[in-house]
Amino acid sequence: MTKSSTDVAYIPLSVPEIRGNEWKYVKDCLDTGWVSSVGVYVCRFEQMVAQTVGMRTAVATSSGTAALHIALLVSGVQPDDEVLVSTLTFIAPVNAIRYADAWPVLIDAEPQFWQIDPQKLTDFLRNNCYLSNGELRNRKTERRVKAILPVHILGHPADMNAIVSLAREFGLVVIEDATECLGAKYRGHSAGTLGDIACFSFNGNKIITTGGGGMIVTSNAEWAARARYLTTQAKDDPTEFVHGEIGYNYRLTNIQAAMGCGQIEMLGAYIDKKRRIAAHYEFGLKEIPGITSMPQAPWAESIFWLYTMLVDEDRFGMNARRLVKELDTRGIQSRPLWQPMHRSPVHCRAEASPCETADLLHARALSLPCSVGLTEADQEHVITSIAHAAHAQ
């Protein structure tokens, strides 16, 4: 029997897919009592992520946000330093900069692939900064500029060659926020291997999940060792409880890691499914006036983590916010992109490049259901509902 639009259940934006060995591995933790942050699955999950990404070392953390916080600390970001970061992002990396007592400088997105704009980064570095005694300083604030933190948004990598060569020219560290990009490639190289250190998230909405969790990857053995130390309360002597510094309780638990081991075994299949979903949307949406499909650069292999389209109000007949409501009445969850950080009540006072592209994308972008378990019938329902919404105008 085929599903009609009236008997389709509510279609969520993105929900986890748990169909592998997760139960088996988690049960093993419960049966053996290894439930906390020590246990074989934590190390196994670290190795699996390192191998998947193609990086020497991985350090498991309790969240992607914790991973970012520690990555900033181990890569040498000091209090009062400045870090150049994407304005069009989920808030976590910008908050993490503040956790490190550093300051974000917000850089616009580029209009083609929606990632941090290398030209605006260049403009900021060349026009607003100067080199003094081997350190880069912001002319206006006189603070040291220490790092670039590009966020690969929605499963698509940023244009990293341009970013890394700027970083090398100006002596900056590159911290990749690859939390939305596990498995994506840039010119044949995995996201997470393109800068000096990178972070992943295994939050419930990510392509694979541990419920909550994160990972730092780096080929710098010293930074990795320090990350391990800081994420486990900076213990110098675990028997005598001697702590050499203020550390953090940021280690992933064995139960979460066990789930991660089950999930990462399925990553290849999940990425294939995300790409099929994207291809189906692209085909189904291309005839609808005013809708622009999610882009993919010729140099990128996107994982299309969260399928997102643009809605041009003038040509489509309604704006993206109205369409969210229309789709909701048809049992479909959709969602605009994050409020850009230069508009955020907590970060709007940060220095920023001109950010008109992020504003435009924020006004027009709409993420559509794209769970790995999405059926073709449900996806057809989403596509026809968008087409009907336009015709119903």
User: Which chain residues interact with ligand PLP by CB under 6 A?
Assistant: 63-65, 89-90, 92-93, 151, 177, 179-180, 201, 203, 214
Residue with nearest beta carbon to ligand PLP? 64
Q: How many CB atoms lie within 10 A of CB 188?
A: 7
102: nearest Cα among 74, 80, 69: 80
| Residue 66: CB minimum distance to ligand PLP, A | 7
| Residue 63: CB minimum distance to ligand PLP, A | 3
Distance CA 317, CA 273 (A): 31
Q: Indicate the residue among 171 and 204 with the shorter CB distance to ligand PLP.
A: 204
Please say whether the beta carbons of 111 and 91 come within 8 A: no
Strands (E), 62-113: 82-86, 103-107
| Residue 231: CB minimum distance to ligand PLP, A | 13
Q: Indicate the residue among 201 and 302 with the shorter CB distance to ligand PLP.
A: 201
Residue 113 CB partners (closer than 8 Å, separation 6+): 156, 159, 295, 296, 297, 300
Q: Indicate the residue among 203 and 367 with the shorter CB distance to ligand PLP.
A: 203
Q: Indicate the residue among 262 and 284 with the shorter CB distance to ligand PLP.
A: 262
Distance CA 215, CA 57 (A): 10
| Sign, CA torsion 368/370/373/379 | positive
| Residue 376: CB minimum distance to ligand PLP, A | 27
Dihedral angle over CA of 244, 246, 250, 254, nearest 10:
30
Q: Indicate the residue among 156 and 381 with the shorter CB distance to ligand PLP.
A: 156
Q: What is the CA radius of gyration of the chain?
A: 22
Residue 380 CB partners (closer than 8 Å, separation 6+): 284
Amino acid letter at 208?
A: I
| Residue 157: CB minimum distance to ligand PLP, A | 13
DSSP labels, 287-322? TSTTEEPPP--TTEE---SS-EEEE-HHHHSS-HHH
Residue 160 CB partners (closer than 8 Å, separation 6+): 150, 174, 176, 186, 194, 195
Q: Indicate the residue among 342 and 381 with the shorter CB distance to ligand PLP.
A: 342
289 burial (CB, 10 Å; 0-12 / 13-18 / 19+) is: exposed
Q: Indicate the residue among 223 and 250 with the shorter CB distance to ligand PLP.
A: 250
Q: Indicate the residue among 136 and 337 with the shorter CB distance to ligand PLP.
A: 337
| Residue 140: CB minimum distance to ligand PLP, A | 27
| Residue 218: CB minimum distance to ligand PLP, A | 17
| Residue 151: CB minimum distance to ligand PLP, A | 5
Q: Return phi, psi of residue 225, to 5°.
A: -65, -40
Q: Indicate the residue among 319 and 344 with the shorter CB distance to ligand PLP.
A: 344
Distance CA 57, CA 50 (A): 6
| Residue 14: CB minimum distance to ligand PLP, A | 12
Collapsing DSSP states into helix, strand and coil, what is residue 3?
coil
Q: Indicate the residue among 141 and 205 with the shorter CB distance to ligand PLP.
A: 205
DSSP assigned state of 50: H
| Residue 305: CB minimum distance to ligand PLP, A | 9
